[in-house]
Structure 1
Amino acid sequence: MDKPSLEGILTSAIVAKVFVKIFNNSKCLLTWPKLLLTDMSSEFKGSCEKLIKEHGIKIQKASSKSSMGIIERFNQTLTEKLFHIQDAQELLLPLPKRSRA
């Protein structure tokens, strides 16, 4: 099964809103990063780029496909691990409150 693609759905404004939601959440232990490695896609331009600069974050654009491959593999591994954590936590919930009950 092919994994769904977010290409064309993510915009700079949406990415900026998600960054604010994540990093300004008092319950989240993450802090604004000092460096953001991106590909050349448009979702990191415009509103997102303005927000990143407001927080003093350096933007580094990947120069080769191999450097992005490393990041993409890390993202895939992180997604898999987070999915398993979420899945395990949901087992503690009563059946009606589980997302796949």
Structure 2
Amino acid sequence: MFTQFFSEYGAVSERAVFFGARRTTEANRGGIFGLNQSFQAWASFATAVVFGALSGLDLRLPWAWFALCLAAVAWLVARPEPAEMAAE
């Protein structure tokens, strides 16, 4: 799974390259960068709101939420590659 973690693009996984760099052009790369920046800003704000609300209920809940998010990321990484990606 991690055999091609380091590629010609640096420390980027093949899955990330498939979903990003291969499908962009010079013309739309700036727009995609801007959308990515705005999504990160909204995600950061939402994280602060969720952690604040969970802290108001119980100080242990933000840690549980963080652990749940890490488990979700681990599950996404551990999934097998889709057939269309494996064919390329």
The TM-score bracket by the shorter chain reads 0.3 to 0.5
Q: Which has the higher contact order (CA 8 A, sep 6+)?
A: 1
User: What TM-score results when the alignment is normalised by the length of structure 1?
Assistant: 0.36
User: What TM-score results when the alignment is normalised by the length of structure 2?
Assistant: 0.41
Q: Which has the higher helix share?
A: 2
Give 1 or 2 for the bigger CA radius of gyration. 2
Q: Which has the higher strand share?
A: 1
